Structure 1
Amino acid sequence: MLKHKSLLWVWIVIVSGYNCAAQRTGRATVSLNDQWEFQKPDAQIKKVTLPHTWNDKDVLDDVPGYYRGIGIYKRKLKLDHSVKDRAVFLVFNGVAQESEVFINDKSAGRHIGSYTKFIVPISAFLNYKEDVIEVRVNNRFNEDIPPLTADFTFFGGIYRNVSLLITSPIHFSQKEHGSSGIFITTPSVSGESASVNINSFVENNGSSGKKVQVISSIFNDSGEQITSVSSTVTLAKGEKKSIVQDIKSIKNPSLWSPKNPYLYRVVTKIVDVKTSVVIDQVSNPLGFRWFKFDANEGFFLNGKSLKLMGASRHQDYENLGNATPDALQIKDVELLKTMGGNFLRVAHYPQDPLILEACDRLGILASVEIPVVNTITESEAFTKNCMNMQTEMISQNFNHPSVIIWAYMNEILLRPKFADDKPRQQIYFNHVRELAQKLDSLTRKLDPSRYTLLVNHGAWDIYNKVGLTKIPMIVGWNLYSGWYSGAPEDFTKFLDKHHKELPNTPFMVTEYGADADPRIRTNQPVRFDKSVEYSMKFHQVYLNAMLSRPFVADGMAWNLADFNSETREETMPHINNKGLLTIGRQPKDTYFLYQAYLSDKPFLKITSAQWKDRSALADSGKMVSTQNIQVATNLKSAELFLEGKSFGIKEAVDHLIEWKVPFADGRNQIKVVSGNQNDQADINFQLQPFHFNDRIAFKDINILLGAKRFYIDNQEHEFWMPNQPYRGGSWGYIGGEPFKGTNNRISYGSDKNILGTENDPVYQTQQVGIKQFKFDVPDGEYDLSLHFAELVGGELKEALAYNLDNNHKKEVEEKRVFSVSINTVPFMQKVNLAQEFGYATAIKKKTRVTVQGGKGIVIDFLAIEGKAVLNAIQLRKVY
């Protein structure tokens, strides 16, 4: 039983006193985000403030899965008695995913779907004494509600803003699928003139008929009224009417574009003819622009060619899930604009109304889509829900000038059902195609002014065979050559293939990207090492290919920011790391690369400054370590300085310049200059001696076995280095080889989630069959730590569907028993990692070692059964 206690009161006084008729009849909107109580079944009641999700914590833990079920929200509401003769609504901007609203224990409305607004009329249920609002929410898996599966987390809760709307009985209709009830189009636009069509739905919930005027006025961005149109209509009791108004010619309109996002306002009023009192009023944005997509020449806005470049966006934020505050959401669009982007793919679902408002204001073109992802259910209910979602999405976002595309499917053949039954699978494919055609036809009917888009993954043959490339006006391709499959160079081949074989179909690159864990750096980038350096090379190839081909209308990086995906493991479990920003919205090197490619202002940035804390071996016989420094720029050349000393002028190649820089121990100040542009940074360098008898004082070292990458542990402020074979006078391993898992896309290491640690990369690589590890350190006292994890075996998990060449070999478990001794003294006897600690579990063993007689530290690994392993090692000098 759910316990209901200590329900909260909130007093809302709409307008105190009502001194004039206008106050009694105007529209009022009041936030209802505060003073809610929340409860899961059989759990305690908690006080919460909206936006709220119950999955902000459990999606990040090491327990597979997250709570998908019922949550109940409650609050009390007391309204001023003068509201009794008015129309009262609850407005929900986003509730995931099934919801039912109760007022005083009576059901007032239901909604299906996580990502669109819905409005519930509640006047008939109010007693104006002690009204109780209860919202029952459920984010369970439901085969009739998309999305069914996806590479993102399905957070539950009332995770967007909620408000109370109070209007006159005669008002703009709140029954138009969550929209404002007003739909604006611009039938003709040119630099000389523009026309406007305004379709307003007005309804009368009053007790009698009334004659009203509907007045629509257009204001420029200075607040000056430039034109107005009026219509008189008589509304009978309970009647709803559509009032269509045409404004034929607005002379010399200021055109909306990314460089000049000029916004007009359309203010539409309902006025009582007898009293001239404004009964209701709504404002909508208006932007004058015209556009087209061309299969050969790409995209045109206002008659001029424009390459659309930008990113996709997910709505969650670090430690907040989908319950993201307004300011942080708006900041995302601002970050895209600062990057030089002019396009946002709102993926894979409609997002907070603030996002498209920001796009309108900042000049970001946009596409929006419903969450039909990966697979469908062949049911009437699933189709009905898809159609309703598409209708709601279009209706609610209809008036945004930034929106130029409606989309409705993403990678729908990625996980085709009935793989073992080809005749049945063909029926399934037919149903997919039929659903796509229904959604496309519906979209063209609801909004003939915009384009339709269906997004495919890179399986050319199957999408053409099923017929999905023939339905939409634009075909989108999500392409990951060089990441999930193939090599980066295959990307250009795919672009040219589409243009050759579908020469009359405009297309976009709707996704592309490579994981970039900002804690992982390398001097030897390889596919799937998760390094920032590999991601930089990957994005360069893609940007060059798209920008050099006019027929590629659009390139949308996946993703603007890292986002939560609970089923992912890899170096940062539960996070998809393909973002140009971290999930906390800190820029990665790739973000600066995009600024260099896309910005129309001079740009110069030391991207390597993101790797500000480093540890590496000194060059042989020297007091410095030579490392790469990379600069992103849209300028021709630049000059780099280290501590004031010039390292020469170099020209940019594909917007990047690199120098070899000798870093000394401690702080190193670097500066790059080009004309009147400059950037500088401090690199904190821990220099490791090439030989322990060098002049460089040894303090501590952290080494990753079986790895070619560096790792920065920001919490412990530890800098991990790749291993090396043993070298006399220095350190290193003897025997064995780097671990290579059963996944053929990874050249070394594992992508399993390592339990018991936040530092998964420390344990995801290892040396298999190691015989010894030696440190030729001077005599003294040292703390030594050995790190282990059994990377083979454990629960067999489903491979990510996105890894297109994920040809897993079956893991072959071998019984692994070995002993470890340090300077011939037994340290670990007959250890069996899996049996004693569990699979994919972090194990750290620490001891203090006394070195004397110039013998250094020798760690011996004795294999008793199978092969000995070591994942990482640390050594710190005590004195």
Structure 2
Amino acid sequence: MIKENKLYKILTLLLGVGTLQLQAQESRRIDQEWDFLKSDLGGIWEAVRPVGAGNPESVPLWQTVSLPHCYNALDAVDPAVNYYQGPGWYRKTLTIENPYPNGRTLLHFEGAGQKSTVYIHTQKVGEHVGGYDEWTVDITEAVEQFKKTDAYKTRFKGKIPVSIRVDNSRDLEMIPSDLSDFNLYGGIYRHLNLKYVPQTALEKVFVSPTVDVDGKQGVLQIRGRLLTQSNSSSFDVETQLYDPSGKLLLTQTPLARSVGGSLDFGKLTVKKPELWSPDHPALYRLVTIVKSNGQTFKEESLFGFRHVEFKNNGPFLLNGKRLLLQGTHRHEDHAAVGAAMTDAQILQEMTMMKEMGVNFIRLGHYQQSRRVLEACDSLGILVWEEIPWCRGGLGGEIYQQQGKRMLTNMIEQHYNHPSIIIWGLGNENDWPGDFPEFDKEKIRTFMRELHELSHQLDPSRKTAIRRCDFCKDIVDVYSPSIWAGWYRGMYTDYKTASTEEMKKVKHFLHVEWGGDSHARRHAEDPDRALAKIEGDGTTDERAGDASLVGGAARVSKDGDWSESYICNLIDWHLKEQETMPWLTGTAYWPFKDFSTPVRPDNPVPYVNQKGVVERDFTKKESYYVFQSYWTSKPMLHIYGHTWPVRWGQTDEAKMIKVYSNAKEVELFVNGESQGIKKRNSQDFPAAGLRWMVKLREGKNQIKAVSKNGKELLTDEIEQVYQTQAWGKPTKLQVEEIEREDDVITVQAKVLDKDGILCLDAKNWIYFDATGDGELIIDQGTSIGARKVQAYNGRALVRLRLSTGKAVVSGRMDESKSTLLTIEK
């Protein structure tokens, strides 16, 4: 693991990487003060026509927003509506003064969903289909033409009006499919940059480092492609190579040669290069300088030397040594912002993964922000990145052209990142539904075309897909569907199922496993649902398995969705992975809960709840299970921090679990030692760190202690033990339980007719508020939803109230509303 102080330095550097690159290319972000309209217009003239102040004919009314911006930030998880899929408009005026004589002026989009059209005043200057790749519009001529108009001088006061129409409407001939288990977000949800480039400029520099498996010599092949070029084809090139400490190693002035549509800038040789790895993410920096007509263009590229190998039916090797890929997944999605995550949020998420012990990630299911890849490079996280050919089948020529264009853009735009080891070509392509024809041979043909295109663009990396058995022989790496203990079978079937699937392909990598957990819901008997499952060893996912009704018995439908069960499932998988020497690795699905339109009936509606953290980064208990197996930094965590009340019989022994990577742990309950337990990863559950304890009725103080050399690790929780039995839920009690500045936490408790808390109640609870306050809802979290299933007979919501009075209501389907008046 990277030491904490070094991690801080890396993140500090990383926060400046984007700015550094933008300055080098004379770019600036134009994220602030955009007008936005969540609807369509009759035409571009409506965006730019003059209107008087306060003129009622100026409708529709626009709002001011900053980029990144996603117009589905809240409605994606609103339980009362289908999220908006349609056009949205953005407009802004810019001061544009290109410092380069005869240079080019560009708008560079880092990502906008899902179709975009760009206008300078009323002139259409560019369009793009695809919500996840980067793209650029040359606005040079349109700007110069508009500067000659009276409107430029008078009405727009020397500024250039830019209007952008984005559209995430449903379209069968567009990738990805609306059958996908994630929202197709709308908006300009990544940064937008204004770029000035000289007459002769580079569009891209491709850095291809290779290194011997013994690491004695590294070779750097450098290629480039011109974006613009002056009439004179004469230009000079200089390349500068800096080592990971920032020291200049080599300078070269190659003679650029045209080879296969690109320019060859020659090779550089590095003796005994520092090798990039998860524990030592050593990044070299290449500066490529192009000079022509007295103008200079500079491009900076970060890269790393590493040697990658997949053994046939065997493990994964990095730099000649086995590395078990300890992975997870990520969607570009977050509470209150949707896809428009800030740079700080992206860094926080990737850092939390690293601190959990992650060294590998599959980016599902589309090209993600350059900020994510920069973080993976600097933190040391290996990457499988894929295009969004996901579910639905195979469309026609337009559809297939888009797929190839997305693959080309993804590979070229992220080519230099040392973290990337796999290009993903698709996901669940055996899932029909968008077209009347579902032809496996046509899907195979297109998959083969993508595979060949990938190797043509980048021979150094593997291709992969997940869950399309009839294409598994085409790609280099394959992941079948194995959901042991969730969609099918029992989690104890995991190792057997994986071993059998490994034998069917050369390179097996298991991505997507796990299950949903409703945060704050816990169970005294978490494995009870497994008794209903037929132990036939079947572990795959089938059509309809994600539904909460019908079909065969399965934990995904018949289980309690508790954190307790998922911790056991994860615990079993991780301890088994330690005994599979042939295993390349796995990736848990996913790291963080995310929104999805296909799961309206989940305990938090429209949220896939399989994450180990909630949609706002709140850690679930399962986060610490991974830490206990995957990290070396000392950690200690008692299970149950969000479990305030346990239940059972008087004098009944209850299991208390501790997740830790310490060699031994001592447990204290109400001040009395329960003994010392030694950790053994194969002693399930909790690696042997579990105690059977008789809790006293009422409050219990629980403390775990471990010594790590001179360092003392401790963790403490308080739990109430309830022995009083409860009857049928009949009423709801709403109460204030906490205040922090302007935020007040409200709890709704499900009670029986005698006022006893119903600790197994899963009733739907609905919150509302009126008055001076506002509920913090539509967050897609366990405490940020207006409609939510109870967790152990309760549910929480927060109210923002700065002054005055508000009334919060809570109700169940079976009862009338209960009102709570709150004053500030």
Q: Which TM-score bucket, shorter chain as reference?
A: 0.7 to 0.9
* Residue 634 of structure 1 pairs with residue 661 of structure 2: yes
Residues 269 and 279 in structure 1, CA contact (< 8 A), matched pair in contact too? yes
Quote the Cα distance in structure 2 between the aligned partners of 1:602 and 1:632: 11
Q: 1:34 to 1:511 in 2, by over 3 A?
A: same
The C-alpha deviation readout for 1:555-589, integer Å capped at 9, x for no partner, is: 10000111111331221111111001111112111
SS in 2 for 1:760: strand
Question: Which residue, 172, 183, 193 being the options, matches 1:153?
Answer: 183
Deviation at 1:131, TM superposition (A): 1.2
Deviation at 1:103, TM superposition (A): 1.2
Quote the Cα distance in structure 2 between the aligned partners of 1:750 and 1:688: 18
Question: Which residue, 34, 37, 49 being the options, matches 2:35?
Answer: 37
* Residue 471 of structure 1 pairs with residue 474 of structure 2: yes
* Residue 584 of structure 1 pairs with residue 613 of structure 2: no
Partner of 1:513: 514
Unmatched runs of 5 consecutive residues or more in structure 2: 1-22, 42-59, 148-157, 530-554, 732-736, 739-743, 769-784, 795-808, 820-824
SS in 1 for 2:567: helix
Deviation at 1:95, TM superposition (A): 0.4
Quote the Cα distance in structure 2 between the aligned partners of 1:105 and 1:788: 53
Deviation at 1:754, TM superposition (A): 7.5
Quote the Cα distance in structure 2 between the aligned partners of 1:715 and 1:703: 26
Residues 669 and 700 in structure 2, CA contact (< 8 A), matched pair in contact too? no
Q: 1:716 to 1:433 in 2, by over 3 A?
A: same
Question: Which residue, 128, 142, 163 being the options, matches 1:125?
Answer: 142
The C-alpha deviation readout for 1:10-45, integer Å capped at 9, x for no partner, is: xxxxxxxxxxxxxxx984111100111011237420
Q: 1:590 to 1:367 in 2, by over 3 A?
A: same
Q: 1:82 to 1:846 in 2, by over 3 A?
A: closer
Question: Which residue, 207, 211, 228 being the options, matches 2:251?
Answer: 228
Residues 76 and 82 in structure 2, CA contact (< 8 A), matched pair in contact too? yes
Question: Which residue, 600, 619, 624 being the options, matches 2:632?
Answer: 600
Q: 1:513 to 1:763 in 2, by over 3 A?
A: closer
Partner of 1:529: 560
Amino acid of the structure 1 residue aligned with 2:174: I
Deviation at 1:549, TM superposition (A): 1.6
The C-alpha deviation readout for 1:269-312, integer Å capped at 9, x for no partner, is: 0124x8xx661001111201011111332100011111101100
> What does 1:314-713 correspond to in 2, within 5 Å?
314-415=331-432, 425=438, 428-456=439-467, 463-464=468-469, 467-500=470-503, 502=504, 505-525=506-526, 526=529, 527=555, 528-568=559-599, 569-611=601-643, 613-614=644-645, 616=647, 620=650, 627-652=654-679, 653-654=683-684, 655-656=686-687, 657-659=689-691, 660=693, 662-663=695-696, 665-666=698-699, 668=701, 670-676=703-709, 678-686=712-720, 688=722, 690=724
Quote the Cα distance in structure 1 between the aligned partners of 2:250 and 2:291: 17
Quote the Cα distance in structure 1 between the aligned partners of 2:87 and 2:456: 37
Q: 1:661 to 1:123 in 2, by over 3 A?
A: farther
Amino acid of the structure 2 residue aligned with 1:74: R
Q: 1:685 to 1:844 in 2, by over 3 A?
A: farther
Deviation at 1:188, TM superposition (A): 4.0
Deviation at 1:759, TM superposition (A): 5.4
Deviation at 1:433, TM superposition (A): 1.1
Quote the Cα distance in structure 2 between the aligned partners of 1:704 and 1:469: 51
Quote the Cα distance in structure 2 between the aligned partners of 1:254 and 1:49: 41
Quote the Cα distance in structure 2 between the aligned partners of 1:689 and 1:540: 29
Quote the Cα distance in structure 2 between the aligned partners of 1:83 and 1:184: 27
SS in 2 for 1:592: helix
Partner of 1:859: none
TM-score w.r.t. the length of structure 1 is 0.73
Quote the Cα distance in structure 1 between the aligned partners of 2:24 and 2:369: 26
Residues 561 and 585 in structure 1, CA contact (< 8 A), matched pair in contact too? yes
SS in 2 for 1:436: helix
Quote the Cα distance in structure 1 between the aligned partners of 2:136 and 2:314: 43
Partner of 1:143: 172
Residues 291 and 300 in structure 1, CA contact (< 8 A), matched pair in contact too? yes
Quote the Cα distance in structure 1 between the aligned partners of 2:227 and 2:371: 27
Partner of 2:12: none
Residues 669 and 680 in structure 1, CA contact (< 8 A), matched pair in contact too? no
The C-alpha deviation readout for 1:611-654, integer Å capped at 9, x for no partner, is: 3x22646x53x8xx864322112233210123432111123334
Residues 512 and 558 in structure 1, CA contact (< 8 A), matched pair in contact too? yes
Quote the Cα distance in structure 2 between the aligned partners of 1:302 and 1:154: 38
Partner of 1:218: 241
Residues 26 and 168 in structure 1, CA contact (< 8 A), matched pair in contact too? no
Quote the Cα distance in structure 2 between the aligned partners of 1:439 and 1:751: 48
Deviation at 1:550, TM superposition (A): 2.5
Deviation at 1:350, TM superposition (A): 0.9
Deviation at 1:497, TM superposition (A): 1.4
RMSD: 3.4
Deviation at 1:232, TM superposition (A): 3.9
Q: 1:787 to 1:283 in 2, by over 3 A?
A: closer
Q: 1:687 to 1:192 in 2, by over 3 A?
A: closer
Quote the Cα distance in structure 1 between the aligned partners of 2:402 and 2:287: 33
Moved more, 394-403 or 125-134: 125-134
SS in 1 for 2:354: helix
Q: 1:786 to 1:452 in 2, by over 3 A?
A: closer
Deviation at 1:210, TM superposition (A): 4.9
Quote the Cα distance in structure 1 between the aligned partners of 2:620 and 2:170: 35
SS in 1 for 2:329: strand
Quote the Cα distance in structure 2 between the aligned partners of 1:561 and 1:204: 42
Quote the Cα distance in structure 1 between the aligned partners of 2:120 and 2:196: 16
Deviation at 1:201, TM superposition (A): 1.4
* Relative contact order, higher structure (CA 8 A, sep 6+): 2
Residues 658 and 704 in structure 2, CA contact (< 8 A), matched pair in contact too? no
How high is the sequence identity, in percent, across the aligned residues?
26
Question: Which residue, 96, 106, 112 being the options, matches 2:129?
Answer: 112
Q: 1:752 to 1:386 in 2, by over 3 A?
A: farther
Amino acid of the structure 2 residue aligned with 1:505: K
Amino acid of the structure 2 residue aligned with 1:41: D
Residues 269 and 278 in structure 1, CA contact (< 8 A), matched pair in contact too? no
SS in 2 for 1:311: strand
Partner of 2:816: 844
SS in 1 for 2:605: coil
Residues 697 and 723 in structure 2, CA contact (< 8 A), matched pair in contact too? no
Q: 1:562 to 1:192 in 2, by over 3 A?
A: same
Residues 635 and 713 in structure 2, CA contact (< 8 A), matched pair in contact too? no
Q: 1:281 to 1:644 in 2, by over 3 A?
A: same
Residues 90 and 120 in structure 1, CA contact (< 8 A), matched pair in contact too? yes
Unmatched runs of 5 consecutive residues or more in structure 1: 1-24, 174-180, 457-462, 692-700, 707-711, 739-747, 767-784, 790-841, 848-879
Residues 210 and 307 in structure 2, CA contact (< 8 A), matched pair in contact too? no
Quote the Cα distance in structure 1 between the aligned partners of 2:619 and 2:291: 50
Q: 1:240 to 1:673 in 2, by over 3 A?
A: closer
Residues 703 and 720 in structure 1, CA contact (< 8 A), matched pair in contact too? no
The C-alpha deviation readout for 1:772-818, integer Å capped at 9, x for no partner, is: xxxxxxxxxxxxx99763xxxxxxxxxxxxxxxxxxxxxxxxxxxxx
Quote the Cα distance in structure 2 between the aligned partners of 1:635 and 1:62: 43
Q: 1:241 to 1:61 in 2, by over 3 A?
A: closer
SS in 2 for 1:79: coil
Residues 36 and 90 in structure 2, CA contact (< 8 A), matched pair in contact too? yes
Q: 1:512 to 1:62 in 2, by over 3 A?
A: same
Q: 1:732 to 1:553 in 2, by over 3 A?
A: closer
Residues 765 and 789 in structure 2, CA contact (< 8 A), matched pair in contact too? no
Partner of 1:197: 221
